[in-house]
Amino acid sequence: MKVHFRIRRYDPEKAPKPYWQDFEVEVEPTDRVLDGLHYIKWYQDGTLTFRRSCGHGICGSDAMVINGRNRLACKALVKELGSRIVVEPLRGFRVIKDLVVDMEGFFAKYRAVKPYLITRSPEPEKEWIQSPEDRARFDDTTKCILCAACTTACPSFWANRDFIGPAAIVQAHRFIFDSRDEGAEERLAVLHSRDGVWRCRTVFNCVEACPRGIDVTRAIEEVKRLLLTRKL
Amino acid sequence: MAERVNRFAVGSGGWELASWYFMRLSGILLLGLALGHLVIMHVLHGVETIDSAFVLGRLANPVWQVYDWLLLTLALLHGFNGLRIIIDDYVHASAWRMTLQSIGYIAAFLAFVVGSVVIWAA
């Protein structure tokens, strides 16, 4: 089928402003948006720039705004979108070129919540034991692939770029509620700051945007409730 | 970069936690108080029968004084706290933010004083 791609282009070395460019591409209905972008880059315009790595919805490289919604180009099928597909870079980040955005600040916030297991107890002889129930407690937030679809769908983040954002909170949740972890206090201190969880207005855009189906808002509210019950 | 990360370590989160909890509690209370007010003033009594004598008669009863004062105070604080959060979210220039927040605090305080005087002096 013939698909009309309309892509938001930007190359600060050539023109100071972004512009729209149109492409006609012949694809299968079962193809992904990523296939269309590849076709354009390989056969029509080699200057089109975008990130992608695994191409199978796991690496989190190719999140972009497709037909107005944050999606992974490698998971969005052409047949679900129709014959007119509009592609833009993620909102709220500085655009470097075309669909490539600057994610430095995003990863700085990720690092701020210390996304690794912190333990103080003496190491066990073998592995740290965890019951299936304890493992299930944070199962949902282990699914995050750091694609930034949630954070760049968040109006609180658009309004205030200092907001730590849903992705970093999800990553913190994954360790705070892990029975083996002992670093919750350090993470909660970060999330309890002025630009931490309290900037969340429960808009639910993150839940809608997450390509992994994580209940992002639920995770954020669980952190808020933990902060509250700790205090009371 | 380090600076960027460190800013999350300093927090005024206690205030934000209290504000968040207050919004939820006052929201629940206001739902009951406002609906009760609506029923009394617009369902049980028609607007055409409500005059200053009716209002003064109700406010002579301490129960309604407390009721009305709670409704007024919670609605005021709930509303102005919402405004404070919106200003915090959208006004980034510190001079503007301080000016607008100050106006908000003063207006909330004045409205609180005037409203309280009206209810308790009635």
Counting residues of chain B whose pLDDT is more than 90, the rounded percentage is 64
In a domain, residue B44? The reply is yes
In a domain, residue B39? The reply is yes
Q: How confident is the model at residue A99 (pLDDT cuts 50, 70, 90)?
A: very high
Q: CB under 8 Å to A13, separation ≥6 — which residues?
A: none
Using the Cβ of A199 and the Cβ atoms of chain B, whether some distance falls under 8 Å is answered with: yes
Per-state percent for chain B, helix, strand, coil, to nearest 5:
85, 0, 15
Cβ pairs A/B, distance under 8 A: 62
Q: Give the span between the Cα atoms of B50 and A36, in whole angstroms.
A: 68
Q: Give the span between the Cα atoms of A111 and A115, in whole angstroms.
A: 6
The count of domains in chain B is 1
Using the Cβ of A77 and the Cβ atoms of chain B, whether some distance falls under 8 Å is answered with: no
Span A64-74, mean pLDDT? 98
In a domain, residue B18? The reply is yes
- Cβ of B8 and A193 within 8 Å? yes
In a domain, residue B6? The reply is no
In a domain, residue B75? The reply is yes
Task: Give the closest residue to A36 by CA, choosing from A20, A12, A52, A59.
Answer: A52
In a domain, residue B85? The reply is yes
pLDDT digits (tens, 9 = 90+) for B96-107: 999 999 999 999
Q: Give the span between the Cα atoms of A80 and A33, in whole angstroms.
A: 10
Dihedral Cα A36, A41, A44, A48, nearest 10 deg = 110
Lowest mean pLDDT, pick from A137-141, B9-13, B88-92: B9-13
Which pTM value belongs to this model? 0.89
In a domain, residue B3? The reply is no
pLDDT digits (tens, 9 = 90+) for B52-111: 888 888 888 999 999 999 999 999 999 999 999 999 889 989 999 999 999 999 999 999
In a domain, residue B50? The reply is yes
Q: Give the span between the Cα atoms of A147 and A51, in whole angstroms.
A: 11
- Cβ of B11 and A156 within 8 Å? no
Given a cut of 50, whether residue B2 has pLDDT beyond it is no
Range of the domain at B37: 14-121
**How large is the ipTM?**
0.81
Q: Give the span between the Cα atoms of A140 and A216, in whole angstroms.
A: 9
A172 touches A190 (CB < 8 A): yes
pLDDT score, position B48: 84
- CATH number for B78: 1.20.1300.10
Q: Give the span between the Cα atoms of A67 and A64, in whole angstroms.
A: 10
Q: Give the span between the Cα atoms of B23 and B19, in whole angstroms.
A: 6
pLDDT digits (tens, 9 = 90+) for A151-185: 999 999 999 999 999 999 999 999 999 999 999 99
